[in-house]
Amino acid sequence: MAVYAAHFDTRKGIKTYRILFDSFTLGSFTSFTQDGCPDGYMQIQEASRPQVGGCWCGTSWGPSIYYSETASITLIVRLLHLSKDQNNYNFDFRMAYKVLRKDHATVRYGGTPPSGNCLFPSFIELMYWVRRLASDLFRGRDPRKIPNNGPEADRRINRLLYYRRPLFKPRPPSYPANTSRGDDAGNAPKAAKTAEYYLGDLITGTYCSRIFTDCDRKTCRLQSPNFPGVYPRNLTCYYAVRQHEIPHGKHALIVVKQPNGQLISIRSQKALYAATQQEKSTGRELKVWQECDEVQDYVTVYDGYTTRDPVVLRFCGGGMAVPEAISSGAELLVEFTTSPFGTFLQPATSQSLHGFQLEVEVIEFH
């Protein structure tokens, strides 16, 4: 067993840490629910959070990103059976980490990113090009079946050489069309700032359960743990939303929704490659109810403050808008559940972001 530990300094202004698994092969992956990692597995433990025991294994053909807000992260890698096929051993592990400023992590925290003289590609832009390159190279097939020599291999090399040129260049700051670039350029109207998200108050002793109150005055967002990176396995999170202050003579309802389908990506199918999926499946599909039982990663919305209350909606998948789920009163509960085992390998049509983000709205009426 090998243990990898990373400790980070919680300096002022720094909030999020990005762990990049550039290469990951750890045995074979067989199931999301039962004995899914027979040859070995990796677990991630974060300081000040309970151990949940979820496991990752299998092979990843592209970078996988894990975000954390804690000051200490421990990676436990346990290899039970070392074997070799015709290509390589069943173990390969390379990772890197980077510290991100909170005001730069706008996908998670909201707000407006700091302005500067150069605009560099965002995380979404970079991952778009990574996915585009992977799709162009592999065309939805199992990469292990692509030959290493011959005409097709030559085409792969040519594409790699083509994509090795810089994809992005620093861009000068843009100016409004009716604004001079002279001395008065500094008086140009500034873009409206985006409000920072309120991510709720973490319940003491839990990994990810949070309480949200009075979202009529806050920009409340319900997010999967470590959004927009890979979410942990073997986990259950509760998001309790309650409206305390209600004007006399009025009633309040809680609404959760997400009109932007790009912010929803919950694993919903066992197929690891696009070629093994049905032709009608594009990987961008919002599934509901029993359709989420295949992997058992899903979000459940309850009409009340407990899991004994009626279920309004259960969904998984992503790439499409989540319809409004409306409570009948001033309380609503959202539950996020993940299966015990997982793999970083995603279908070729999968999105760059992982997990979910839901908007919260409070409706008051007489």
Query: Would you say residue 174 has pLDDT above 50?
Result: no
**Amino acid making up residue 68:** S
Query: Can you read off the two tokens belonging to residue 2?
Result: 């090998």
CA distances (Å), origin 124, targets 102, 107, 130, 139, 218: 17, 9, 10, 21, 26
State whether CATH 2.60.120.290 applies to domain 201-365: yes
Inter-axis angle of helices 151-163 and 123-138, nearest 10: 160
Q: Which residue has the higher pLDDT, 186 or 100?
A: 100
pLDDT given at position 64? 87
CA-angle at 143, arms to 140 and 60, nearest 5°: 100
pLDDT of residue 15 exceeding 60: yes
- Of 69-78, 194-203, 233-242, the range with the lowest mean pLDDT is 69-78
Q: What is the mean pLDDT of residues 220-236?
A: 95
Residues 22, 92: contact at Cβ < 8 Å?
A: no
Which residue carries 């970079």 as its tokens? 126
Rounded to the nearest 10°, the torsion over CA 147, 149, 155, 160 is 90
* CATH number belonging to the domain at 2-109, selected among 2.30.30, 3.40.630, 1.20.1070, 2.60.120: 2.60.120
Q: Which residues pair with 60 in a beta bridge?
A: 24
Same topology, domains 2-109 and 201-365? Answer is yes
Give the rounded percent of residues in the chain with a pLDDT score beyond 90: 41
Give the model's pLDDT for residue 7.
Answer: 52
* The pLDDT of residue 42: 93
Q: Which residue type, as a one-letter code, is found at position 227? A: F
Q: Which residue has the higher pLDDT, 279 or 31?
A: 31
Rounded distance between C-alpha atoms, residue 20 and residue 75, angstroms: 12
Rounded mean pLDDT, 116-144: 48
Domain residues of the chain, as ranges?
Answer: 2-109, 113-142+151-171, 201-365
Query: Quick one: average pLDDT of 39-43?
Result: 92
Instruction: Look at residue 126 and tell me whether its pLDDT is greater than 80.
Output: no
pLDDT over 70 percentage in the chain: 67
**3-state SS class at 190:** coil
What does the pLDDT read at residue 172?
A: 43
Would you say residue 346 has pLDDT above 90? Answer: no
Please state the rounded mean pLDDT for residues 137-159: 47
**Of 280 and 212, which is predicted with more confidence?**
212
Q: Compute the mean pLDDT over every residue in the chain, rounded to the nearest whole number.
A: 77
How much is the pLDDT for 1? 55
